[in-house]
Amino acid sequence: MVAGCQRQPQTIVPSPPAARPASLFVPAKVLTIRTDIPGERAFVHLVIFANGKVRIGSEMNQWRLFDFQNDTITFVNETERSFRTETLQASMRKKRIALAQPVSFMPRARYQPTGQQRVFEGIPAHQHLILLGDYKREMWISDRVLIEREFFAMQLATEPVSGPYAGVMRDVFDRMVTLQGFPVYDRSEMPYDGKRLVIEKRLTRVEQKNVPLSWITVPSTFRDLDAPATTPSAGRPSVSSTPRDRNVRGAG
C-alpha cells in the first residue's frame, strides 16, 4: 500500500484541449501514474502512447516526444516555442559521455536485481534495486504493460544528469538500459534533515481511450532548431516534415 494513499492528488495533463472535432482525437494507450511525495502531497500524470509516439504528461514547459518509428526523441520548449530532434543513438552517446566523468572521491551506485516478484494492480513485476550509501531506489518492472519495449531506455538516455556527480550512475545506467519493460512501482528513499525522505510512484491504471492529437504533436508554429538558416527571400522552413525527412537519423 502506498503511504498516504488517501491524499487527493492533483492531476497533471498536457495543455487542456478546447472542444475539437472527433477527427482531431486519436486512439491511445494511456497509463495513469500516481506520485506521492512528503508533505501530504500527491499528483497524477498520464503517459500517452499513440501513433507510434509517447509523451509523458508531467512534462509541461519542456517536454519530450518519443518516436519509435524513427528512433528519435524531439525536445520541445514551450517557452521559447522551439524544438530539436535527435536520434536515440545520439542521445545514448551524450549520456555515456556525461557518465564517463571520473568520481574517485565517491563510490559508484550499485544495481541489483533481486529476482523477487510481486503483483501490482494485477500486473506481475520483478524487483530491481539501486543503492548508493543511504540512498535506495526500488523499482518493480514489468514487461506485461504492453508498450513499446524501447521506451524505458529512451527515457533513461534523455534524462538530465547532475554535473560532477553524474559518473556515480555509470554502472547502473549500463545495466538499466538493457531492461525491457515499465516500472509499475518506483520508490526512492534517502535521509534528509534527520528524517527519511520517501517518494513513491505507482502505475494505477492502463486504458485505451481517445486523446487530443495535439498532445503528441509539435505545434506547426514552433521553430525547428535543426533546420538550416534561410534567407528572407527563401522563407522559413516547414516544421511539419517528419524526423526521417529532416535526415535526423544520422544526427550526433
pLDDT of residue 90: 93
Using a CB cutoff of 8 Å and minimum separation of 24, what contacts does 57-65 make?
57/12, 57/13, 57/14, 57/215, 58/12, 58/33, 60/12, 60/14, 60/15, 63/14, 64/158, 65/216, 65/218
Q: Does 238 score more than 80 pLDDT?
A: no
The pLDDT of residue 6 is: 56
Q: Tell me the three cell numbers of residue 57.
A: 504528461
Q: Is the pLDDT score of 216 beyond 50? A: yes
The neighbour count for residue 196, using CB atoms within 10 Å, is 11
pLDDT at 199 over 90: yes
Residue spans per domain, the chain: 10-232
**Is residue 113 pLDDT above 90, yes or no?**
yes
Q: What is the pTM of this model?
A: 0.80
Return the closest-CA partner of residue 185 out of 83, 102, 117, 232.
Answer: 117
Which DSSP string do the residues of 5-63 spell out, in sequence order? TTS-PEEE-SSPPPS--GGGEEEEEEEEEEEEETTTEEEEEEEEEETTEEEETT--SEE
Mean pLDDT of 79-94: 94
Specify the pLDDT at position 232. 54
Mean pLDDT of 219-229: 90
Distance CA 64, CA 88 (A): 12
DSSP label at 173?
Answer: H
- Return the CATH fold of 10-232: outer membrane lipoprotein receptor (LolB), chain A (2.50.20)
Higher pLDDT, 163 or 20: 163
pLDDT at 40 over 90: no
Q: What is the mean predicted confidence (pLDDT) over 59-84?
A: 94
pLDDT tens sequence across 138-170: 999 998 887 777 788 889 889 887 677 788 988
